[in-house]
Amino acid sequence: MSRKTMDCRDIPSESKCTLTISGEEDEVLRAAVMHAVDVHGHRDTPEFRNELLKSLKPEPQSATRR
């Protein structure tokens, strides 16, 4: 499985959150959902998880460790 990343700076918000999460896709999705619910007040719904999943990006090669 390839590594993915989620960067709050890519999503406009009033809080100007700078959190970046990287890891395997399922890890990043799980952590991003918890963060979005806890910090940004989103509701954990299947639709919201799908939107987050679509916004995950491949982790840049320079950041990938072997």
Residue type, 22: S
Arithmetic mean of pLDDT, 5-10: 93
Residue 66 maps to a domain: no
pLDDT of residue 48: 96
pLDDT exceeds 60 at position 66: no
Q: Where in the sequence is the domain holding 9, given as residue range(s)?
A: 3-61
Residue 51 maps to a domain: yes
Mean pLDDT of the chain: 90
Name the domain count of the chain. Answer: 1
Cβ 58 vs Cβ 4: under 8 Å: yes
Residue 36 maps to a domain: yes
